[in-house]
Amino acid sequence: MTSNITRVLHTGISVYNMEESVEWYRKNLGFEVVKDDGYVPPLKAKIVFIEKDGYQIELFEYDEPKKMPEDRLMPNTDLQTVGTKHVAFETDDMDALKEGFVANGVDIAHVVRMGQDAVMFVRDCNGVLIEFIQK
């Protein structure tokens, strides 16, 4: 085991439109911009870091983004594909969270109970899956 890893820094997500994505994460999850790298020529992409409660997401908007494959849009089919799957957040009130998402027009992909846990997956404005769990 490597003991010199000190903390998780961020999760990276590619998006179609930076401004729309920043607004979606602000409005629906409470993230705020903490660093705007602007356009990074070697990557041919804009990069912005957003943060909530010390957790950061690095958003990338490439000049020529590739469309997300259809099987990545559904939790159960996406999980079958090898690779990073989703970000998960804990909530203490799933009903209130869902109510707020419905009011904001958030795309709710899947709602299920797993034992004692309530689980909900939503899609951000790019189709990226995000999980919420109430234990």
What CATH number should be reported for the domain holding residue 85?
3.10.180.10
Shared domain check, 129 and 72: yes
Tell the residue number behind the tokens 């920043």, with chain if given: 22
Residues 8 and 62 both lie in one domain: yes
| Of the residues 66, 81, 103, the one at which a domain ends | 66
User: Quick one: 23 and 47 in the same domain?
Assistant: yes
pLDDT at residue 4, as a whole number = 86
45 and 4 fall within a common domain:
yes
| Shared domain check, 99 and 58 | no
pLDDT of residue 69: 92
Residues 75 and 57 in one domain: no
Whether residue 59 is found in the same domain as residue 19: yes
What are the structure tokens assigned to 65, written together?
């983004």
Q: Which of 8, 123, 124, 125 is nearest to 55 (CA)?
A: 8
Same-domain status, 22 and 51: yes
pLDDT at residue 6, as a whole number: 85
Q: What is the pLDDT of residue 106?
A: 98
Q: Which pLDDT score is estimated for 1? A: 61
Residue 116, sorted as left (phi over 0), alpha (psi -120 to 50) or beta, turns out to be alpha
Q: How far apart are CA 57 and CA 28, in angstroms?
A: 14
The neighbour count for residue 61, using CB atoms within 10 Å, is: 21
Look at residue 115 and tell me whether its pLDDT is greater than 80. yes
Answer whether 134's CB lies under 8 Å from 118's CB: yes
Residues 58 and 10 in one domain: yes
Per residue in 42-97, pLDDT (tens digit) is 999 999 999 999 999 999 999 999 999 999 999 999 999 899 999 999 999 999 99
pTM equals: 0.93
Q: Into how many domains does the chain fold?
A: 2
| pLDDT per position as a tens digit, 6-25 | 888 999 999 999 999 999 99
74 and 33 within one domain: no
The arithmetic mean of pLDDT across residues 96-121, rounded, is 97
Share of the chain above pLDDT 70, in %: 99
Whether residue 120 sits in one domain with residue 105 = yes
What pLDDT shows up at residue 3? 80
Q: Residue 28: which domain range?
A: 1-66
8 Å CB contact between 11 and 58: yes
CA distance 9 to 82: 22
Can you give the pLDDT at residue 100? Answer: 97
56 & 113 share domain = no
